[in-house]
């Protein structure tokens, strides 16, 4: 009985069929897929929130756009005011990461579009893994936070990120004013997760 969710999934299916049927009509397809200007885009999300649209690789009742962060061609340049992505970038392979970050900057409004990203902090997880106070079960848990739970095809981590490395990648992609924050306070997600007394996420804000 989720009529809105059904409509979103049906629209995404029609769009995929149209792209497959008429790839030469790329401009028209792009026009049909365009969101409103100054969109606030939650990548990888599941939780509906007023003012935000959700892009996810898997369809869902709250998902507005079905797609992959590695291909944001459905969004116009400078059409997104804010992007929020919690525990998404670690699923991108290392070779693709520069292009993914450039793609995020391409769709952000310039100047000043805001990127908010959260990833597992490799430095914190390494310290936790070596903590003599953790038992065997906890150490396995920390290891899985590094490499992904691998419970489905999308749950594999392809890169380990820490502040200096991610800040360098963001700078090379054209971002500036890159800073670490303790919490975003926006969604109830892994960005605030602290299973053993320390937040395991690296939370960063950057500007386009």
Note the pLDDT of residue 24: 44
- Matching residue, tokens 């792009």: 30
Q: Which fold has domain 34-207?
A: Rossmann fold (3.40.50)
Cα distance between residue 17 and residue 92, in whole Å: 26
The pLDDT score that the predictor gives to residue 199 is 96
202 Cβ partners below 8 Å, 6+ apart? 118, 119, 120, 121, 124, 161, 162, 163, 166, 180
- Cα dihedral 138→144→147→149 (10° resolution): -170
pLDDT value at residue 28: 41
My answer on whether omega of the bond before 35 falls inside 30° of 0, hence cis, is no
Residue 146 near residue 120 (C-beta atoms within 8 A): yes
Across the beta sheet with 176-181, the strand order is 65-66, 53-56, 39-43, 80-86, 114-120, 201-207, 176-181
Q: pLDDT in tens for each of the 208 residues of the chain?
A: 665 556 556 666 665 565 555 444 444 444 444 545 679 999 999 889 999 999 999 999 999 999 999 999 999 999 999 999 999 999 999 999 999 999 999 999 999 999 999 999 999 999 999 999 999 999 999 999 999 999 888 889 999 999 999 999 999 999 999 999 999 999 999 999 999 999 999 999 999 9
> How many angstroms separate the Cα of 189 from the Cα of each of 44, 68, 105, 139?
11, 20, 23, 22
Q: Which residues of 70-87 are buried (b: 16+ CB within 10 A; e: fewer)?
A: eebebbbebbbbbbbbbb
């Amino acid at each position: 009985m989720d009529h809105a969710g059904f409509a979103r999934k049906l629209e995404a299916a029609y769009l995929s069929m149209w792209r497959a049927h008429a790839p030469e009509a790329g401009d028209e397809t792009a026009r049909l897929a365009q969101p409103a200007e100054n969109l606030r885009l939650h990548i990888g999300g599941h939780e509906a929130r007023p003012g935000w649209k959700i892009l996810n690789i898997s369809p869902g009742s709250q998902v507005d756009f079905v797609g992959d962060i590695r291909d944001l061609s459905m969004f116009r340049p400078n059409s997104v005011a804010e992007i929020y992505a919690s525990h998404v970038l670690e699923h991108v392979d290392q070779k693709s990461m520069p292009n993914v970050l450039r793609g995020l900057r391409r769709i952000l409004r310039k100047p000043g579009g805001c990127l908010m990203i959260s990833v597992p902090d490799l430095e914190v997880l390494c310290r936790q893994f070596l903590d003599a106070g953790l038992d065997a079960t906890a150490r396995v848990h920390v290891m899985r936070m590094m490499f992904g739970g691998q419970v489905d095809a999308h749950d594999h981590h392809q890169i380990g990120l820490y502040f200096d490395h991610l800040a360098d990648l963001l700078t090379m992609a054209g971002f500036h004013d890159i800073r670490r924050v303790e919490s975003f306070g926006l969604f109830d997600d892994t960005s605030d997760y602290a299973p053993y007394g320390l937040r395991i996420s690296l939370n960063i804000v950057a500007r386009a």
